[in-house]
Amino acid sequence: MKIKEVIVVEGRDDTVAIQRAVNADTIETNGSAIGEEVIRRIELAQARRGVIILTDPDYPGERIRHIVSQRVPGCKHAFLPKKEAISKNGDDLGVENATPEAIRLALANVKQEFKNPKEEITWQDLVDGGLIGGSQSRNRREQIGSILKIGYANGKQLHKRLHMFQITKEELSQALQQVLEEESK
């Protein structure tokens, strides 16, 4: 599988994992202190070939995703579920731990970022769906993120991502129905 876009990852081990899964070029941020030179390379890649951001499903990874997304508009996003990025002994979380199949699936479900999203899904929709403020909210958001291929997010991030990727109320409703069916089993 050849990927046209350049994939932004956190480090060398992530590049190795990507190259085991697909034929693609990467830019490594080397952590969350992203330098101006790295940002310039990402801007050039975005202008010439497009960029896909694939960072670890943890706080530093989300911080990198946010920084790059803010500085380089129009990026695409690929998300690995946490369960696909945990090391065999369970002590490390990162892209480098994912199987080639999990990486290919994340890249097959890439999401395009939209800067002027339609405000279709409201905060109240998330509350009504039990995605905010309930005892099952965190678990439901994790499952919703996996189903919609937008990664785990807290309530505020979920609201933003649903808009950023223009997820419709119908898509959210179908995903929530799936989650509720799983809970009732």
Q: What is the mean pLDDT of the chain?
A: 91
Q: What is the pLDDT of residues 108-144, one digit of tens each?
A: 999 987 766 666 899 999 999 999 998 999 999 999 9
* Nearest alpha carbon to residue 68 among 84, 54, 85, 88: 54
What integer pLDDT is reported at residue 1 of this predicted model? 82
* The CATH number of the domain covering residues in 1-113: 3.40.1360.10
Residue ranges covered by each domain of the chain: 1-113, 115-185
Q: How far is CA 182 from CA 127, 139, 159, 168, in A?
A: 19, 12, 22, 21
What integer pLDDT is reported at residue 180 of this predicted model? 92
What integer pLDDT is reported at residue 166 of this predicted model? 87
What integer pLDDT is reported at residue 119 of this predicted model? 66
DSSP 86: B
Quick one: tokens of 17?
Answer: 């994992």
* pLDDT > 90? residue 47: yes
5-9, 37-41, 89-93, range with the lowest pLDDT:
89-93
Q: What percent of the chain has pLDDT over 70?
A: 97
